[in-house]
Structure 1
């Protein structure tokens, strides 16, 4: 059975909802990283997870700044499930604002469980 890797970059405040959605679909296992990134808009103040003074906020609103905290998820799924998983991640994370994230789908050459040597789906589930 063909497998695909889904890489999703989402807002930190959407992680719990995304995790729950993946679990409900039967994919409780995935890897998540704290990452920094920025899109073509150059970042938005409301993406920051901490408060800033009004003076700093005014300066940030009139200029772009480095990188915005995001979460990167790696989940491997059977190829037939890719459209449903992608649609669910979009539904959970879509606000219509800049910074909602990106999803990439890549081919997966192989999966192996280190402890047992199992391969493919048996290594995943």
Structure 2
């Protein structure tokens, strides 16, 4: 199993979610986060004064999938979250050694 963590622009969340659900994914976690990458924030104007926004709002998606689903899920997130502009985000894939469903005690793939 793999844990896929994607950091994307907030307005892309619904598009990504809809396609992943249509693919048959049973669940995901979405968290509002703030961060910066190469763009290191951005400058904004408010009432004639310029100020710096150091951390930009993002959404962090986390989903655990079977090994055979990884490539398809990563490609789907990448295609749906891409705007072609700086700050589109990142996707991280890490090993997930165990999953336990708290309610039933099921483990591994059955717990997904």
TM-score (norm 2): 0.92
Q: Which has the higher helix share?
A: 1
* Distance (Å, rounded) in 2 between the aligned partners of 1:109 and 1:82: 15
Unmatched runs of 5 consecutive residues or more in structure 2? none
Question: Which residues in structure 2 correspond to 1:14-93 (within 5 Å)?
Answer: 14-44=12-42, 53=46, 55-56=48-49, 59-60=50-51, 64-93=52-81
RMSD (CA atoms): 1.7
Identify which range, 14-23 or 64-73, moves more after superposition: 64-73
**Gap change, CA 1:43 and 1:28, over 3 Å in 2:** farther
Mark the runs of 5 or more structure 1 residues left unpaired by the alignment: 47-51
Displacement of 1:85 in angstroms is 0.5
The answer to which structure has the higher strand fraction is 2
Deviating 4+ runs (over 3 angstroms): none
